[in-house]
Amino acid sequence: MMKIGVLISGGGTNLQAVIDAVHGKSGDIAVVISNKADAYGLERAQKADIPTSVILESDCADVDDFNKKMIGVLKDYGVELVVLAGFMRILTPAFIAAYPNRIVNIHPALIPSFCGEGFYGMRVHRAIFEYGAKVSGPTVHFVNEEADGGPIIAQKAVAIDDCDSPEAIAETVLREEHKLLPWVVEQICLGRVHVDGRLVTIDKA
């Protein structure tokens, strides 16, 4: 099975979704790395007997050193696919070069809308609410050096007409994230995802 490394910064609900749907089935989560020592996602990993590592940027010489240490842990565990599940740091070019087309991220909006630098977490949902959009949904994409600019793997549109707050939009989109991210990770582990430049194709099961 393909060895997966998951990077988190918080509660880890998307991590839990991948654990439930993928771990020990189509893929093996070899390690979970957090940049925050109190991230609840670490407990989720430990409950599933998955090794964890905490790497604090404050303990590193600079951002390059921070990324280098994360790469070192991933390599130590033989990781072949990196999944960003609510990881709130931008990766350096060296990190991306270490895993070309093998880093996936989930963004809580339909790229190319409401994405790029500054669009993360609740900021995305507030912008969508203020704009008055009727549809939103998550996007899973490969990571490159441009924020939210890598090739799109899959998206799921969902109606948000009834959402009366950014928080309601976030809840609606998150439910779809918990389905889409594990599905994409599973397809990659099964060798069904192919990348040619910006074009991503997925073989039918």
User: pTM for the whole thing?
Assistant: 0.95
Final residue of a structural domain among 53, 70, 99: 99
Q: What is the pLDDT of residue 205?
A: 80
Q: What is the pLDDT of residue 148?
A: 92
Q: Is 178 labeled as catalytic in the residue annotation? A: no
Catalytic residue among 23, 107, 141, 178: 107
46, 109: one domain: no
92, 171: one domain: no
133, 75: one domain: no
Cα torsion for 164, 16, 151, 201, to the nearest 10°? -110
122, 159: one domain: yes
Q: What angle do CA 68, 61, 9 make, to 5 degrees?
A: 60
Structural domain including 149 reads 105-205
90, 115: one domain: no
User: Edge to edge, what strands does the sheet with 152-155 contain?
Assistant: 52-54, 27-34, 2-8, 81-84, 103-107, 139-142, 152-155
- 168 Cα distance to chain centroid: 21
Q: Which helix (H) or strand (E) holds 184?
A: helix 166-189
115, 57: one domain: no
176, 138: one domain: yes
Q: What is the pLDDT of residue 65?
A: 98
Would you call the peptide bond into 166 cis, given omega within 30 degrees of 0 as the criterion? no
Q: What is the pLDDT of residue 90?
A: 87
| Burial readout 70-91 (b: 16 or more C-beta within 10 A, e: otherwise) | bbebbeebebbbbbbbbbeeeb
Q: What is the pLDDT of residue 24?
A: 97
40, 131: one domain: no
Final residue of a structural domain among 71, 99, 127: 99
Name the residue with tokens 């997966």.
4
Average pLDDT, 10 consecutive residues per value, the chain (205 residues): 97 97 98 98 98 97 98 98 94 97 97 93 96 98 94 98 97 98 98 96 93
93, 26: one domain: yes
180, 203: one domain: yes
Q: What is the pLDDT of residue 179?
A: 98
Final residue of a structural domain among 77, 99, 121: 99
